[in-house]
Amino acid sequence: MIHRDRIEAARNAAIVRPDPFSVSTAVELWTDPHISQQMLSAHLNPHLDAASRTGPFIDGSLRWIIDRFELGPDSRVLDLGCGPGLYVNGLARSGASATGLDVSSRSLAHARSVAAAENLRASYIESNYLSTDLDGQFDLIVMIFCDIGVLSSTDRAQLFSNVRRWLSPTGSFLFDAHSVAEFETRTEEAVEAPQLMNGFWSAEDYHGFKNTFVYEDTRLALDKYTIVGPDGSRVFYNWAQCFEPEQLTEELGEAGLVSELLGDVAGGTYDATSREFALIGTVP
């Protein structure tokens, strides 16, 4: 049983608004034994638009990517934050040599098992794409599901610098992002419940708080989860930066890449009222 004094202390701490990107728990979300299993289950549910896109969207996106970038046996592809390999293995089915990079050993184990069962040209590296280095150059680099929004401006600059270094002279970088229209849906709220999100955060008994903070001046939102268990408390921070396309176009330009604006990573047409958009960065 969790003592009421501990819950009250966590309630008071949960309402504290942190400075933007002053703390990050992105790696912990993907490496905690229990939470990573919940994340993998969400990834693999083709009907759930949560950790991954829905199955039909992924299928359409893969078809468009393979056609647009003319992938085949001579192509080298890299997926940053690849999760359980839904895109890596899908792109490898075109005959391309595909590499996935992620911090979640559980997700990578699933990805490797699928690749091995199908004898795909897919390989996986357990590492953080901000701090790793890779040999060789890639014809296509992808980062999908608006993962750019969890990065501070400093981390984005590091990411774009890495991508520019890893791209072949004719390579492309495809990624998506949350838009201003997405930011306009975000509101501040506080939710509290025993076993918040139906046991997502722990296999043990716990009491959870979800506090959403909105930073109007920077189009940034934060879902802060405070989880109180029998032995202590943990806090997880889910940052979600939203962008004007021009901002990311400028940042790509600073890294030496030119941009093309799309509606999504399935080749949709850009719509300013949509909650997301996509960019292709290429070497000039």
Q: Print pLDDT tens along the chain (284 aa).
A: 798 999 999 999 999 999 999 999 989 988 999 999 999 898 888 888 876 888 999 999 999 999 999 999 999 999 999 999 999 999 999 999 999 999 999 999 999 999 999 999 999 999 999 999 998 899 999 999 999 999 999 999 999 999 999 999 999 999 999 999 999 999 999 999 999 999 999 999 999 999 999 999 999 999 999 999 998 999 999 999 999 999 999 999 999 999 999 999 999 999 999 999 999 999 99
Measured CA angle at 134 (ends 131, 140), to 5 deg: 105
Per-residue model confidence (pLDDT) at position 53: 86
The amino acid at 275:
R
What is the C-alpha to C-alpha distance for residues 97 and 108, in angstroms, rounded to an integer? 17
Q: Tokens 């901000």 — which residue? A: 130
- Left if phi > 0, otherwise alpha if psi is -120 to 50, otherwise beta: which for 227? beta
**Residue 115 per-residue DSSP state:** H
Q: Which spans in the chain are helix H? A: 4-14, 26-31, 33-43, 55-68, 86-92, 105-118, 153-166, 180-183, 245-254
For the chain, which domains are there?
A: 4-27+182-240 (no CATH), 38-178+243-282 (3.40.50.150)
Q: Over the Cα atoms of the chain, what is R_g? A: 19
Dmax (CA) of the chain: 62
Hey, is 87 helix, strand or coil? helix
Tell me: the pLDDT tens digits for 72-131?
999 999 999 999 999 999 999 999 999 999 999 999 999 999 999 999 999 999 999 999
Instruction: Quickly tell me which residue has 């030119």 as its tokens.
Output: 258
Provide the whole-model pTM: 0.97
